[in-house]
């Protein structure tokens, strides 16, 4: 928000608040693009882990909070055949919670 000062006829200073629409528009576009990116990453994680759609809200939270490289590192750890993990999704959630999600 941009504040400007105008002086009226009596000499009083009037503060006028004007919204800078260009910045708000750009912020909304950036948020929209980030949200689309988060949803795309979450869907890819669900597909890679073979998880059902009920895990999608948590996957979106992970995609929002962790870096993409960290996410794929965890998925690679989970999907590694040497680990013999019984429940991939549960192990993935454990790794993400350990990172602070």
What's the mean pLDDT when you consider all of the chain? 81
pLDDT tens, residue by residue, 51-78: 899 999 999 999 999 999 999 999 999 9
Q: Which residues pair with 4 in a beta bridge?
A: 16
pTM of the model: 0.69
- Using alpha carbons, select from 27, 93, 28, 32 the residue that is nearest to residue 61: 93
> How many domains would you assign to the chain?
1
What domain range includes position 52?
2-98
pLDDT tens, residue by residue, 17-27: 555 555 666 77
Taking the CA atoms of 55, 57, 59 and 61 in sequence, report the sign of the dihedral they define. negative
| Percent above pLDDT 90 for the chain | 46
> CA dihedral defined by 65, 52, 30, 75, rounded to 10 degrees?
50
d(CA 66, CA 38): 10
CB atoms within 10 A of CB 49: 20
């Amino acid at each position: 928000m941009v504040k400007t000062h105008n002086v009226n006829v009596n000499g009083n200073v009037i503060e006028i608040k004007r919204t800078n629409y260009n910045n708000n528009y750009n912020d909304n576009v950036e948020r929209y693009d980030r949200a689309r990116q988060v949803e795309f990453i979450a869907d890819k994680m669900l597909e890679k882990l073979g998880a059902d759609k009920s895990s999608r809200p948590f996957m979106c939270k992970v995609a929002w909070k962790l870096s993409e490289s960290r996410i794929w590192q965890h998925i690679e750890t989970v999907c590694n055949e040497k680990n013999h993990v019984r429940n991939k999704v549960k192990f993935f959630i454990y790794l993400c919670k350990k990172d602070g999600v």
